[in-house]
Amino acid sequence: MKIYKNHDLSRYNTFGLGVKSAYFLEVEQEDDLPRAIETADELTQGNFMFLGGGSNVLFCGDYKGAVIHLAFGGLEFHETGRNQILVEAGAGVSWHDLVTYTTQNGWWGLENLAMIPGSVGAAPIQNIGAYGVEQGDCFESLSGIPLNGPPCTYSKKICDFGYRNSIFKQELKNNFVITRVRYLLETQPNPRLDYQDLKLRFAEAFGKGTGHQPSSNEIANAVADIRRSKLPDPALIGNAGSFFKNPILTKEQAESLKNLHPNMPLFAPKTENDTGSESKTSAAWLIEQCGWKGHRRGAVGVSETHALVLVHYGDGKGEDLWQLAQDIRSSVRMEFGIDLEPEVNPVL
């Protein structure tokens, strides 16, 4: 374990904000994690946080506590004998590397989640999702350490996955560190191409009746291509992907808003216990209607191509991004009566 003081975090947050943390503990071996937690606790009287790839955090200023950076890897798999493979990865493995490893082996389950930045350890926290799939769909279990107890393993049921949500964003927020995650993948083809962009992309091959079934690796590559064409690359312009969640509305709320705004998009939320009583709308659409798309305020702004993505042009401040987010929330609340919930985790 390495310990740094007054550490520059600009390489550790995809907004690229030039903030510092009072302490930075780099944990490259899983066995060192309990000692890292103890040390961070002693150094800061309990003011510490865990960090993976920094692609879902907004540092609103210098962090006065200790950052524990989870940098340990480990990737292994076991055949279960039922056309399924159990893959296990350490918290510090890059998510995209995990997806690539599984699809290059021809396994099915994670292909639609290609190119999501960040680490494996953070994936269950907001139950990452894209192109009609969430990591919870093929999640098997995870191991971790509660801050007030011994290491333990949690099943899918305990994790309570929802839309960009889990027990780790609720009851166990800041109170549990994920060390390993397991996914149960399939060896038999199971393409999920319902999402419009993917459907269009593969329609030609299917439409011509060539009988060509895309492999999981081809789907992952197609997802990566589509993502590259749609989302600003954090290596070029600082951002953390979608800043807000898409709001879930009751059926009544959705109907009355649709009467007022006939163009408002509505779609069914993807939840396991969907009762049909809720609808999801597009946060990007709401923000765009309020005139924020492409808005620039000094060194920060809203992407010109994607209204849901807040961007940092360089040499800006996290607090300015947070203020911009608050102003966007206020105007959406005034215009539509909807309170947007941030998907990004602010570190205030």
Ligand X SMILES: Cc1cc2nc3c(=O)[nH]c(=O)nc-3n(C[C@H](O)[C@H](O)[C@H](O)COP(=O)(O)OP(=O)(O)OC[C@H]3O[C@@H](n4cnc5c(N)ncnc54)[C@H](O)[C@@H]3O)c2cc1C
- Catalytic annotation, residues: 164, 242, 343
For every residue of 299-311, DSSP letters joined together read TEEE-SS-TTEEE
Closer to ligand X by Cβ: residue 255 or 304? 304
Gap between the Cα atoms of 346 and 82, Å rounded: 43
Gap between the Cα atoms of 91 and 52, Å rounded: 8
Gap between the Cα atoms of 199 and 246, Å rounded: 22
Where do the DSSP E strands lie in 60-195? 63-70, 75-79, 84-90, 129-130, 133-134, 139-146, 152-155, 176-186
Task: Decide if 114 contacts 95 (C-beta within 8 A).
Answer: no
Task: Decide if 123 contacts 135 (C-beta within 8 A).
Answer: yes
The identity of residue 14, as a single letter, is T
For every residue of 144-158, DSSP letters joined together read EEETTS--EEEEHHH
Q: Which stretches of the chain bind ligand X, using CB under 6 A?
A: 14, 49-57, 70, 91, 116-119, 121-123, 125-126, 128-130, 177-178, 231, 234, 239-241, 345
Closer to ligand X by Cβ: residue 91 or 290? 91
If 0-12 CB within 10 Å is exposed, 13-18 middle and 19+ buried, where does residue 176 land? buried
Tell the smallest beta-carbon distance from residue 209 to ligand X (Å). Answer: 32
Closer to ligand X by Cβ: residue 123 or 257? 123
The identity of residue 320, as a single letter, is D
Tell the smallest beta-carbon distance from residue 163 to ligand X (Å). Answer: 10
Closer to ligand X by Cβ: residue 27 or 286? 27
Tell the smallest beta-carbon distance from residue 287 to ligand X (Å). Answer: 16
Closer to ligand X by Cβ: residue 234 or 247? 234
Tell the smallest beta-carbon distance from residue 100 to ligand X (Å). Answer: 15
Q: Is 33 helix (H, G, I), strand (E, B) or coil?
A: helix
> Tokens in use for 62?
């210098």
Task: Decide if 240 contacts 312 (C-beta within 8 A).
Answer: no
- Write out the H or E segment, with its range, that includes residue 6: strand 2-8
Task: Decide if 342 contacts 244 (C-beta within 8 A).
Answer: yes
Task: Decide if 71 contacts 54 (C-beta within 8 A).
Answer: no
Closer to ligand X by Cβ: residue 116 or 254? 116
